[in-house]
Structure 1
Amino acid sequence: MADAATNAMSKLNLATSQPTLIDKRAPGTNGAALELSTNITPITLAQNVNYFKYDIRMYAVFTKRDGSKTTKELTKQTKDDYNEQERKKACSEIFLTLTNSDAMFQGTLIYDRAAVLFTTEKLPPISASEGKLLTLNAQSQSVCPEAKHIEVTIKQAVFGFQVSSNDLAKCVNADFKPQHSKELMEVLNLATSQIPFFTPTDYMTYGNGNIYLLNPGNFGFQRNEAPDIGRDKFTGIGLSKGVKILEGNNQPGCKNYTPALVLDVKKTAFHNFNQNLTEKILQTYGNAVPSHALLARDLKDIRCLTVHKKASIVIGGFTAGPVGKATFKDKDGNAMLICKYYEEKYQLKIARPDLPGVIDAHQRNIYPTDLLVVAPNQRVKINTKDVVEALIKACFTQFKYTGINYYLFQVSAIKPELRFAQTVRLSKLLQLDSKKAQDMGVFVPTDAASLTVPARQLPPVSLLAGQGAMAGPSWRSGGKFVVGAKVEKWAAFLLFPFKCGGKMPRHTPEEVFQSFVQKFADAGNRKGMSIATPLIREHVDVSVGDTNSHVSQAVKKAKEAGCTYVLFVSDERVKSHEQLKYDELAHQITTQEVTLIKASQVAFENKGQTLENIIMKTNVKLRGMNHVTRGDGILECFFEHDLIYFYGVAACVYLPAFSGLHHSNDAIIIGIYIQQPRVMTASEIEGGSQPSFPAVIGLSANNGILQASNLDIAPIPAFILDAPLQQREMAAQQYFTMAYKYANPKEWKKGETQLDTLKKMVAEALMTYKNNRGRVPSKVVIYRAGGVSEGQLSYIASAERDAYLAAFDSLASDYKPTLVIIAASKEHNERFYQKANHSNLFPGVVVDRMAVNPELNEFYLQSHKALQGTAKATKYTLLHESSGRLNSDQVQHMTFALCHLHEIVNSTTAVPTPLYVAEESAKRAVNIYHHMKGPAEYYELDELNAKFTHSNLGARLNA
């Protein structure tokens, strides 16, 4: 049925479909009022100031040996850190030369050190079509001293040439409005960056918003605030700066557009400047010669400068053997040792010929590591385990991947009060309120306090488990599960390298294994599961042969014996988790792995909470349910007529539609997480390049069906026992299953598009709901995450929305359920603190006024407790809601309640469970792809989805 929509989908012009922006809803009122501090600083913008935008290009002109000319564009954008800084340095020097020597550049103007120039007065006589050409001496810059001269062209910008400071309303929601104006946002951002831009001895700036102190010690920062990482890297401390237009203090009946800076401290790992590559390798790996594969993993893509001539190369890889034995063919075709060549031609003695040689990524030339030094201003791109551990130890810092280049940067582990203080301190050091900014009509008073915003503390969410009522955001669950799973035939394997030695303290691995398996089964049965004696209980010696093959054989043996569940207790030296999850996929059997250390803690150290967490995970994997959310005394809700039935109470009440959708028996809640690969450029696609890595779509929905071994869940009231099917239905409505598929990149238009795949997955989720529940949902709620920046909201509200509608149509032409789309993102820099002491917020704090977009239905929800560092609230945007009846309180309550259903821990999560499970599903897909296919390998989409995705089990295997 899902495939039937292919033809209908092809008729949709999804790329040009316009989003339907729903009206701004009133903020919520539920909860206790609070006031919060933020990292947001309001900007005062003078009225009636006109800005004129110019396109400025700078070129270094060279003379070739044959007398012809060639040019190098200095204003061209690049993602290479070193080249970016070099080009911006050249552009800055040329621009300063112009302001000191050319009368045309004497007015009030700001420059981005690339191709954008704003002025408060027109620069005559420059037109958009003709422009003006200026010629300067090569000495006007120091980056290309060998250039013959410098040429500068300047024209009026083709789009947005004139913008006014009165145009704030046009800046909002730029991707949703055709009359948008991003130019004023550019003015605000550039005006507050001019001091860092043109003080290169003190600051490094990447893009327009990531500004680092070049020498933090000169600004009073202590060594422990920006420490070295080993002896080849250091921590750069700086500030992330963005400009936003916020709602501000709106008055009833009108809108107040408030420009503001969002500032957040940032710490990033940098490579030591100008360090010899041989020295860097020795400091990282010691005197032992590392393998070429290890070097390539850790050093690939670093740009190095050559010591024998002015040139730079990018590390593309390393030779398999020592560079001392590497050869090349000279101009006569004779083989010559590379080291000998450099010694004879440049009189350079190679000190470490035993190290692998560097292979240039572009020219494929080979260089001894002695002849290369690390180019300056390069952020660490490769997130190796050693680097992460060192920086965590030094800075108490957490990390994440971001963007294509995976720059290593600080996320949240600075204590909140310290983070707040450092942000304020850095904002003063960067002189955001410079005279240049004031001359442009942009004022950021240096003594201005950060924005204080109103917020609300939502009431605790009521929970129900075997021992009765509980309340979040953290709770105890000592009694039975709401629905206990049944395990009749299962297998338990101990994976241990017996012939390699090693043992557990005081107890052998066999003793740990036997005791743990017994305690595991006993605990599950006490919690309301039905776990039989394992059908297979064996030790597997993985010290001989391929470990992965041992794992595969064990899973196959369990499957052939009729087992539905396999438990592995694995020594920490056994690294076969990806293989285990692939075998789970191949044999369609549920697997779980527990480390031998945790098993020992359970078996002989009485770690009861560890055992409970393991059992909770097992129950969810096997379609049980540990706890559910409930309303105030509400155990089950039916919304066909907006009725709520109370068990044991012969009454019903009318409530607004959508109240408690996570309880409704005709609502499907879907989480979708999309992980995009590297963006393919138009030239690559036109040139015939094929995608080398697929996108991954993770999906989770409450469309499963639960099994139950024991419905005697006292002390739940006796009337529940009279209605076991309803009890199971209530739990199933809050049980979220996993699914994933591989898809083509978003920009790929041949064959099955990403929207085609997304449409099929939603249709399949709906069909699974119908098959398991016997009905189709009349309400579809979609939470969407994964790369959800503000620029993506328009696409989700238009192209993806139409894909969901096409999925409905593929099932039946008259199937028109209510559709709700909520985007979730942590790709923002807004931080919220308790006003009194700038500490972390308690779970359940919601912000939906002042700090939000004036046009969008946007709110921030802090739903989890930060175990370390500064918590980051998730931003949610209600993009589509076809009923028109869902208000802010209902959306916020539902979102917070869904953060209580992770099930394998007794606390809330940072995002709703459907999104959490969807993201974990996407990660599972990526891991399986890498394990089975390897990186950067062309794929066949149909083959991937046939071989490496689960058939729809209606279960949450990735719990």
Structure 2
Amino acid sequence: MPPRTAPLSTGGGGAGRGAGRGRGRGGTPISWGSSASNNPNAPQISNHVTTVGVKRPAYGVSGRPIAVYANCFETTIPEKTIYHYDGAWYVTWLWWWMNVPNLTWPRAIDITGEKALPARLNMLIIKALQEVVARDVFITPAVYDGRKNMFSTHILFPEHSRTFDVTLAAGKPPPAGAGGGKPPKLYKVKITQAASINPELLRRFIEGSQSNDEKVATAIMALNIVIRMDPTQKYPFNVRSFFPGKETKMIGSGIELCRGYFQSVRPAIGRMVINVDISTGMFFRPGLLTDLILDFVGERLGNPSVLSTANPRGLGDVRNRRNLGKFLIGVRVNVITGEAPAKPGAPTRPPRAILALSDKDADQIFFAPSQGGRMISVADYFKQLRGRPLKYPKIVCVAVGNKDSWVPIELLAVVSGQLMRKEVPSDRTKDVVEFSTKAPKERLASIRQAFSVLKYGDSPYVQNFGMQVEENPMEIKARVLKHPTLQYGVMRGKPTKVNPANGAWNMREKKFYRPAKVGRWLVIIFESERRFDARTATEMVKSFSAACNEYGMLMLAPNPEISWIVGNPRGSIMKQLKDAGKAVVDKYKEAPALLVVILPEQGDEIWREVKHFGDIEMGVPTQCMKANKCGRGKPQYFANVCLKLNGKLGGINTIPDPETERSLTDPNNPAIVMGADVFHPAPGSVGRPSFAALVGSVDSEAAKYVADVSVQDGSFSKRIEMITGLKDMTKGILIKYMQYRVQQEKKKMSEAPPKRLIFYRDGISEGEFPKVLEVELPQIKAACAELKINPKITLIIVGKRHHIRFFPKNEGDAGDKLGNCPAGTIIDREIGHPTEFDFYLQSHGGLLGTSRPAHYSVLHDENAFPVDALQALSFTLCHVYAPSTRSVSIPAPVYYADRVCGRAKNHFHPDESLDGSDTASRASNDDGTTLMKSIMNAFKPINSKQSNAMFFLQHLPTLDSCTHNHSQICTEL
């Protein structure tokens, strides 16, 4: 929540966080040839306005103009003053006791240490407050975010704060002295005045005459709460998305998918807009808890007897039981009483959350029903004392309410509409993507249809705040940038040049720009000879070698040793890899320079051990292939393999043409390009690490990269997005850049340092932009200072987690048969930031569903790039992703950093099981600190033999046969 502010004065905009920053930062005009203020193409931004990042110097003009629709809908700004209130909610119990003298009902007793209530419950409390308890206070409905913020168009009460008593129980409370048990909860709601907001602030902000300060942020937050208030009271919701439940699909693993709608109020250039999109939610399968569990473990419904701890292949396996327990924790359930339904209006017991899964069956769990009573099993309790024998007494139970209250799972039902706040299981990713994917025309039609559900005009909250929403999507002027020219190796005496079409090209009659040499290599096959026999292996070697030769890679030892390793017990894989390598050393008196590993269909665990062996333990390049792919592999398959392998062996596949792409390859102004990312553990994890990756170019063409990866505290209470060790990581990359320039490119030492440092940062939300400038930028500068170099730094945030989509207005402007905008579509007008330098670039051609553009925000720019030059440079970098013959959705160094983060769990020895992949904590005596320290100590760096190689080009085995446009795989999530 923004800090409390004083009531708005009508004076000019105050100083924002960008005030007083250095060259190229907010508050300082940018000069890049002609003055921005004198440039007719420059936006009209007041000189006194300060920004967090770079003030927008101008709009881009290069490229072919096209018209597109954006999934943004213009909305008016309220005319009324908005009053902001803080809310404090705490719970008390109402008790009344018989035979207690001088008791007056009700008597409130505060319960200290009460945890924060869930947002869904808070919404019900405020609804009751407004509609029942304090109707005279809430003359017109106020809006509430489910946590602490409330906004109203009128002053609720004259005093600074007021406390209300609210109960959700139906009917009136019993009279004093009445008998009965525990009464319903009483919720004390304390509401405190925070500030008043003049909406004129927003008008000035979108017109470029107001800084983006806390008051503006609070006003935008208020409008977002206004549009969300109505649907969040009707449907399950997740912050900015809600799910009506009209389109659902069961996909197994206890998961139900549901189509929903995303909505967010955003400032744009000269207007406020609502970004509306479709979204997908994962829900726990509703209905019988036994059905949910059977679905999760992959058993057929209607046969709960398999859920016994006596079943060694089922819940008798401790690992299976632990995984199920993690999945069930927090799921809300109701007890199936089997009794007649309660009378209308009678209070019902609220759902309770599952706290644990038993390690014994119901007939083996004993407890005393009453103090001093004899011990009895859960199964016998229901049979003898409740007269309700269990149908399945030999299956597990769950604890609900408290960890000593074990309830048979056959008596519980899962409450519908429960969002799963967990990672998508790897074996269900394909199902989620298929459900989420919609072609552009279908997606835009669904977004238009959303208005029949959103019904802004019918919302009493939207009406009260005086907002009117346009129901037609915005039409925007866009441009399509020219693709960069790419250069491949020499054929017929001259370099081969390629001009991509809609982000794609092919490798026919081309050789790599710098082909690698393949030394002594070894083929290791983790598949039976029955499924992958000697003849298949020979054909694979022949096809693989032919592909390498076709693209210029020199096979120094064309006949590899082939070794089958079958029936590996867990933990012996690395030993067997070492033994196979030692056999090559004994025979040829040299170590293998490459391991080609053939994996079975279910070979993910083997893949991880192979990568740990190659990247960490031995420092030897590895290339994994699935047996069912390479055994019948076509030339295109092995061509894809070569794209990855050439880079890992030190080669370069392609470079931007130096003659035409001067913004990146200017020999008089050498540049190093870096990409950084941070990967956090799954929600709910304790004692799990975060991984930070930095990738940087070392060659003059920004096509060859090296990487560094580190581990940092990922505890939720300590989790930070900033890279704590960025200075040392940057320093190491810069040293390798200068070494490469001297040793490989034969530059003089005085020519080795870069003059420009272009830094792309991934994974940062807009609210964290100031931290990047305050924490990470100084570390980059400190690394340069320690090396006594002074490159001009440009820092750009690349955002992927947003819901902006573009749709070509005219069918002739579509770049693919699905109807996506063509690769190179760029938008920097109308829906961009009102005052800061940003743009949207859809750099890739669509393969699946509706393509997502990347959002670029320029936070710091000492190079004073012209707008067109920086946009073209970013587009060019999307074409040098080595494993691909398609442009990708984000610049290659950012993509590489993302890959390095995803592989970081391979830096732990497989036997240590400290890979950070679990979605919940293992047992620990503290908050995870001890486990976190052990994990950080167990993290191993990349082997020095691999530290200068592009070891990160190997894809996960599940993606091994993809067409290298992996940016498309999760565009819909």
TM-score by length of 2: 0.77
C-alpha spacing 1:94/1:42, structure 2 compared with 1 (3 Å): same
Partner of 2:933: 939
Q: Which moved more, 1:511-520 or 1:354-363?
A: 354-363
1:96-135 deviations in whole A, cap 9, x for unaligned?
1146xx32221464344554332222233221xxx22334
Q: How does 1:337-356 map to 2 (within 5 A)?
A: 337-356=377-396
Q: How does 1:389-468 map to 2 (within 5 A)?
A: 389-391=430-432, 396-397=434-435, 410=436, 413-434=437-458, 436-437=460-461, 439-445=463-469, 448-466=471-489, 467=491, 468=496
Q: Separation in 1 of the partners of 2:891 and 2:401? A: 43
Q: Separation in 2 of the partners of 1:901 and 1:593? A: 22
Q: How does 1:634-713 map to 2 (within 5 A)?
A: 659-661=663-665, 666-677=670-681, 692-703=687-698
1:104 aligns with 2:137: yes
Partner of 2:259: 237
C-alpha spacing 1:596/1:133, structure 2 compared with 1 (3 Å): closer
What letter is aligned with 2:885? N
C-alpha spacing 1:347/1:619, structure 2 compared with 1 (3 Å): same
CA contact (8 A) 1:108 1:439 kept: no
CA contact (8 A) 2:581 2:592 kept: no
Q: Separation in 1 of the partners of 2:165 and 2:838? A: 50
C-alpha spacing 1:748/1:758, structure 2 compared with 1 (3 Å): farther
CA contact (8 A) 2:686 2:715 kept: no
1:773 aligns with 2:741: yes
Q: Separation in 2 of the partners of 1:427 and 1:171? A: 25
C-alpha spacing 1:149/1:173, structure 2 compared with 1 (3 Å): farther
Note the aligned Cα RMSD (angstroms): 3.7
C-alpha spacing 1:419/1:749, structure 2 compared with 1 (3 Å): closer
Partner of 2:925: none
Partner of 1:611: 638
Q: Separation in 1 of the partners of 2:261 and 2:75? A: 17
Q: Separation in 1 of the partners of 2:355 and 2:319? A: 11
Alignment length, in residue pairs? 820
C-alpha spacing 1:333/1:888, structure 2 compared with 1 (3 Å): farther
Partner of 2:608: 578
Partner of 2:75: 43
1:819 aligns with 2:793: yes
C-alpha spacing 1:316/1:95, structure 2 compared with 1 (3 Å): same
1:453 is displaced (CA, Å) by 1.2
Tell me the secondary structure at the aligned position of residue 91 of structure 1: helix
Partner of 2:411: 371
Q: Separation in 2 of the partners of 1:480 and 1:85? A: 60
C-alpha spacing 1:167/1:794, structure 2 compared with 1 (3 Å): same
CA contact (8 A) 1:696 1:742 kept: yes
C-alpha spacing 1:74/1:343, structure 2 compared with 1 (3 Å): farther
What letter is aligned with 1:955? A
What letter is aligned with 1:698? A
What letter is aligned with 2:425? T
Partner of 2:61: 29
1:921 is displaced (CA, Å) by 0.5
Tell me the secondary structure at the aligned position of residue 547 of structure 2: helix
C-alpha spacing 1:441/1:104, structure 2 compared with 1 (3 Å): closer
Q: How does 1:851-862 map to 2 (within 5 A)?
A: 851-862=831-842
Partner of 2:769: 793
1:436-471 deviations in whole A, cap 9, x for unaligned?
35544433346x311111111001210111351111
1:232-261 deviations in whole A, cap 9, x for unaligned?
6543222111111111xxxxxxxx3x1110
Q: Separation in 1 of the partners of 2:213 and 2:526? A: 61
What letter is aligned with 2:414? V
- Equivalent of 1:598, from 613, 623, 629? 629
What letter is aligned with 1:858? D
What letter is aligned with 1:122? I
- Equivalent of 1:564, from 593, 600, 605? 593
Unpaired runs of 5+ residues, structure 2, are: 1-16, 27-53, 101-106, 175-180, 308-313, 338-347, 743-751, 922-930, 954-973
C-alpha spacing 1:821/1:385, structure 2 compared with 1 (3 Å): closer
Partner of 2:244: 213
Unpaired runs of 5+ residues, structure 1, are: 1-13, 217-224, 248-255, 398-409, 638-658, 681-689, 704-728
TM-score by length of 1: 0.78
Tell me the secondary structure at the aligned position of residue 457 of structure 2: coil
1:605-647 deviations in whole A, cap 9, x for unaligned?
xx1111111122111110111211115556xx6xxxxxxxxxx
Tell me the secondary structure at the aligned position of residue 766 of structure 1: helix
1:483 is displaced (CA, Å) by 0.7
CA contact (8 A) 2:95 2:182 kept: no
1:776 is displaced (CA, Å) by 1.9
CA contact (8 A) 1:60 1:138 kept: no
Partner of 1:285: 299
Q: Which moved more, 1:835-844 or 1:360-369?
A: 360-369
Tell me the secondary structure at the aligned position of residue 692 of structure 2: strand
Q: How does 1:300-315 map to 2 (within 5 A)?
A: 300-301=328-329, 302-307=331-336, 310=349, 312-315=351-354
CA contact (8 A) 1:110 1:194 kept: yes
1:344 is displaced (CA, Å) by 3.8
Partner of 2:10: none
1:312 is displaced (CA, Å) by 4.7
CA contact (8 A) 1:188 1:442 kept: no
- Equivalent of 1:157, from 193, 205, 212? 193
% of aligned pairs identical? 18
1:740 aligns with 2:714: no
C-alpha spacing 1:362/1:471, structure 2 compared with 1 (3 Å): farther
1:371 is displaced (CA, Å) by 2.7
Q: Separation in 1 of the partners of 2:123 and 2:596? A: 57
C-alpha spacing 1:343/1:869, structure 2 compared with 1 (3 Å): same
C-alpha spacing 1:899/1:174, structure 2 compared with 1 (3 Å): farther
What letter is aligned with 1:42? E
Q: How does 1:153-302 map to 2 (within 5 A)?
A: 153-158=189-194, 160-169=195-204, 178=213, 180-198=215-233, 200=234, 203-207=235-239, 209-214=240-245, 216=246, 225-229=247-251, 233-247=255-269, 256=270, 258-273=271-286, 275-283=287-295, 284-286=298-300, 287=303, 288-289=306-307, 290-291=314-315, 293-294=319-320, 296-298=322-324, 299-301=327-329, 302=331
C-alpha spacing 1:320/1:553, structure 2 compared with 1 (3 Å): farther
CA contact (8 A) 1:845 1:862 kept: yes
What letter is aligned with 2:765? S
C-alpha spacing 1:808/1:16, structure 2 compared with 1 (3 Å): farther
Partner of 2:647: 620
Q: Separation in 2 of the partners of 1:264 and 1:573? A: 36
1:431 is displaced (CA, Å) by 1.1
What letter is aligned with 1:673? D
Q: Separation in 2 of the partners of 1:205 and 1:352? A: 35
Partner of 2:949: 955
Q: Separation in 2 of the partners of 1:593 and 1:482? A: 24
CA contact (8 A) 1:745 1:754 kept: no
Partner of 1:531: 555
1:567 is displaced (CA, Å) by 0.8
1:325 aligns with 2:302: no
What letter is aligned with 1:810? E
1:95 aligns with 2:130: yes
Q: How does 1:800-839 map to 2 (within 5 A)?
A: 800-812=776-788, 815-837=789-811, 839=819
1:54 aligns with 2:54: no
What letter is aligned with 2:150? L
1:579 is displaced (CA, Å) by 0.3
